[in-house]
Every structure is written in C-alpha cells, then in structure tokens.
C-alpha cells in the first residue's frame, strides 16, 4: 500500500504573491500534479501543517481550491503558522471540533493525525485533552500497525531554533505515552523544511522538505535559521505489512531524464 506525505506548503491568500522569491501556490499545485500523475495508486496524501503562511481565511480558501483538484484524498493537519479558527471556517466539517485530530484504518493499518498547534506560538504541544484522545486511539488500534502524523518534530533535531523556540514541548510525556504500545511503526512530521530520518525508542520517523521554501542546514550554531535553494520534495511511503520504505522525490525537475549509460550529463528529454 502506498501513501504520500507532503508538508509545509505555506500558502498565502494572494494567489500570485511570492514568498522568498517562489510561489507556494504554484509549487503545491506542481506537487499534487506529480503525485496524481505518478502515484494514482496512493491511498491518500497527508499534509502535515503550516498549510498557510499568514493564516488568513483567504489563504485557507486558496489552499482548499488547490487540494480539491487532487483525485487522491488529502488529509490535512495544522502547524504553528496555522490558525485553527480560520481553518475551521473554511473546512466546515471540523467546525464543532476543538482540535484538528482524526484517525482511520485501511486494512490492518491505523493512521492517526495529531494537532500540535499551540496558537500564537512557534513551539508545539499536546494538551491533556489531546493526549486523552491519543491514548484512546492507541487503545482502539492495539491490533493494528499504527502510523502517526504531526507537525512538530517530537525529537531534538540539531537546529538551534527548532530545538528551542520552535520545539515540541513536553517530549517526555509524548514518548511515555507511545512507550506503552509496541505496534507504532512510524511518525511522519513536518515543520523542519528539511529531510531528516530519526529513531527513538525503536520508533522510526522522518520529515520531508516543504513544498515551498527550505531551511538551510546549520548545526553547532545559535545563528538564526536561513532559507536556501534546496528543492522541494514529497515523500512516497510504501507499506508492506509492518515493513515500509520511503522515497523523497524532488518533483520540480522530474521531467529532466538523464541517460545512464556513461553520460550522466546529457539531458535526453524534459523541460526547464
Ligand atoms: Fe513551516
Ligand atoms: Fe512549522
């Protein structure tokens, strides 16, 4: 079974407006076009937060218009840039929910989507109400392979700002909660705008790049995070029982195909 993970589209209300010299709307559209073309067999697409950059109602309307073109179902959760109230005004199916959390199963796999937004803060957390819901779900899905989706990274990542002001708070409670279950296979998160793989307590994790802008790799420094020209990706997750593999795909240049037989530098088809 195949699922797709993309993250941090940072959509803005004005469709033609740029962010750091790129257009987030165009890039999300390109990602969805690529996914629908090459991975039409995917069961769903998970988008793990920072759906909007400036979080206006207009930004969510723009976001909704874009994802509605996807033939593959899209499941969205919120990040620190998002605004839960404006999101619910546009995605009215959540209007009576306190948080944007939900779950579903496909065969023997359970997919749990968490809401780590602490409105107005860069850092994220789960309050007692959200932990109660998570625990109930983990109990319900004891016989399933469980996959979690969340915006904030529940680990130390080595990037100063993301390990301080923009971190996931109260990690110990999170890992203590998960530690009671042996069937949690993987956590997909966003927020870092980088590809990173990690493992804690036997649970593997990954983040893929933003569909919009990226965060430059700067470890061993307290300097402010900067963006760079790394290209956006989405992640393709193939699940086979309790096993899985993940590819990170740079979709912007996917039509540039190179001849492999000794001439890596020759473009034989594609577009700029
Ligand atoms: Fe982000
Ligand atoms: Fe974020």
For the domain spanning 2-269, the CATH number is 3.60.21.10
pLDDT tens-digit readout, 26-84: 999 999 999 999 999 999 999 999 999 989 999 999 999 999 999 999 999 999 999 99
- Residue 127 is predicted with a pLDDT of 97
Spatial contact of 97 and 88, defined as CB atoms under 8 Å apart: yes
Measured N-to-C along each axis, helices 24-38 and 57-67 cross at an angle, to the nearest 10 degrees, of 20
- Residue 272 is predicted with a pLDDT of 47
CA of 140 to the centre of ligand 2 (A): 29
Residue 270, pLDDT above cutoff 70:
no
CA of 128 to the centre of ligand 1 (A): 25
Classified as helix, coil or strand, 187 is strand
Identify the weakest region by mean pLDDT among 25-34, 38-47, 112-121, 223-232: 223-232
CA of 190 to the centre of ligand 2 (A): 7
Measured N-to-C along each axis, helices 128-140 and 171-178 cross at an angle, to the nearest 10 degrees, of 20
Q: Which residue has the higher pLDDT, 225 or 37?
A: 37
Ion ligand 2, residue ranges at CB < 5 A: 50, 79-80, 191
CA of 119 to the centre of ligand 2 (A): 12
CA of 35 to the centre of ligand 2 (A): 23
- Residue 266 is predicted with a pLDDT of 58
Find the distance separating the first CA and the last CA of the chain, reported in whole Å.
32
- Residue 265 is predicted with a pLDDT of 58
Nearest Cα to Cα of residue 90 among 117, 118, 64: 64
Q: How confident is the model at residue 219 (pLDDT cuts 50, 70, 90)?
A: confident
CA of 2 to the centre of ligand 2 (A): 25
Q: Say whether pTM exceeds 0.85.
A: yes
């Amino acid at each position: 079974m195949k699922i797709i993970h993309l993250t941090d589209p940072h959509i803005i209300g004005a469709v033609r407006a740029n962010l750091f010299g790129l257009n987030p709307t165009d890039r999300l559209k390109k990602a969805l076009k690529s996914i629908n073309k090459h991975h039409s067999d995917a069961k769903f697409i998970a988008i793990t937060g920072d759906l909007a950059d400036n979080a206006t109602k207009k930004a969510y309307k723009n976001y909704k218009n874009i994802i509605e073109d996807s033939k593959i179902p899209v499941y969205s959760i919120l990040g620190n840039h998002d605004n839960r109230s404006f999101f619910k005004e546009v995605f009215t199916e959540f209007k009576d929910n306190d948080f944007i959390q939900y779950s579903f199963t496909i065969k023997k796999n359970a997919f749990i989507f968490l809401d780590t937004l602490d409105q107005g803060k860069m850092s994220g957390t789960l309050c007692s109400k959200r932990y109660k819901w998570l625990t109930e779900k983990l109990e319900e899905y004891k016989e399933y392979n469980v996959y979690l989706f969340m915006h904030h990274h529940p680990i130390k990542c080595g990037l100063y700002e993301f390990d301080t002001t923009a971190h996931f708070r109260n990690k110990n409670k999170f890992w203590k909660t998960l530690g009671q279950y042996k069937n949690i296979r993987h956590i997909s998160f966003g927020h870092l705008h980088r590809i990173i793989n990690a493992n804690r307590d036997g649970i593997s994790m990954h983040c893929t790049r933003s569909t919009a802008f990226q965060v430059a790799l700067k470890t061993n420094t307290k300097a402010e995070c900067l963006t760079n020209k790394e290209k956006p990706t989405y992640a393709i997750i193939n699940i086979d029982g309790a096993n899985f593999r993940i590819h990170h795909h740079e979709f912007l240049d996917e039509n540039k195909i190179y001849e492999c037989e000794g001439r890596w530098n020759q473009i034989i088809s594609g577009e700029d």
